[in-house]
Copies of this chain bind each other. A is one copy, B any other.
Amino acid sequence: MKNTLFVKAGKVAIQEIDKPTIQADDDVIIHVVRTCVCGSDLWSYRGFEDKDANSQNNGHEAIGIVEEVGSAITTFVPGDFVIAPFTHGCGHCPACLAGFDGDCQDHTDNFSRGNQAEFIRFQHAEWALVKIPGKPADYSDSMLNSLLSLADVMATGYHAARVANVKRGDSVVVVGDGAVGLCGVIAAKMRGAKQIIAMSRHEDRQKLAIEFGATDIIAERGDEGIAKVMELTNNAGADAVLECVGTELSNETAMKSARPGAIVGRVGLPHEPKMDMTQSFGMNVAVAGGPASVTTYDKQLLLKAVLDGDIHPGKVFTKEFTLDQIDDAYQAMTNREAIKSLVVIA
* Interface pairs A-B: 4 shortest CB-CB: A103-B260, A286-B288, A284-B290, A100-B261
Closest to A259 in B: B94
Q: How large is the interface on A (under 10, 10 to 19, 20 to 34, 35 or more residues)?
A: 35 or more
A residues at B contact (CB < 8 Å): 93-95, 98-100, 102-103, 105, 163, 234-237, 239, 259-263, 266, 269-270, 273-278, 280-291
Q: A99-B261, A163-B286 are in contact. List 5 more A-B contacts (CB 8 A).
A: A93-B236, A94-B237, A100-B260, A266-B281, A280-B290
Known contacts A275-B274, A277-B270, A277-B275, A95 near B259 by CB under 8 Å: yes
Complex: how many Å from CA A289 to CA B288?
12
Known contacts A98-B259, A99-B261, A278 near B288 by CB under 8 Å: no
The oligomer's copy count stands at 2
Say whether A103 contacts B281, CB under 8 Å.
no
| A93 CB, min distance to chain B CBs, angstroms | 8
Say whether B278 contacts A276, CB under 8 Å.
no
Say whether B280 contacts A277, CB under 8 Å.
no
Complex: how many Å from CA A275 to CA B237?
23
Partner of A275, one of B266, B275, B284, B286: B275
| A69 CB, min distance to chain B CBs, angstroms | 28
Known contacts A266-B281, A270-B281, A273-B277, A287 near B286 by CB under 8 Å: yes
- Residue contacts A-B, CB under 8 angstroms, 6 given: A100-B284, A103-B283, A275-B277, A280-B290, A287-B288, A288-B288
Complex: how many Å from CA A184 to CA B70?
49
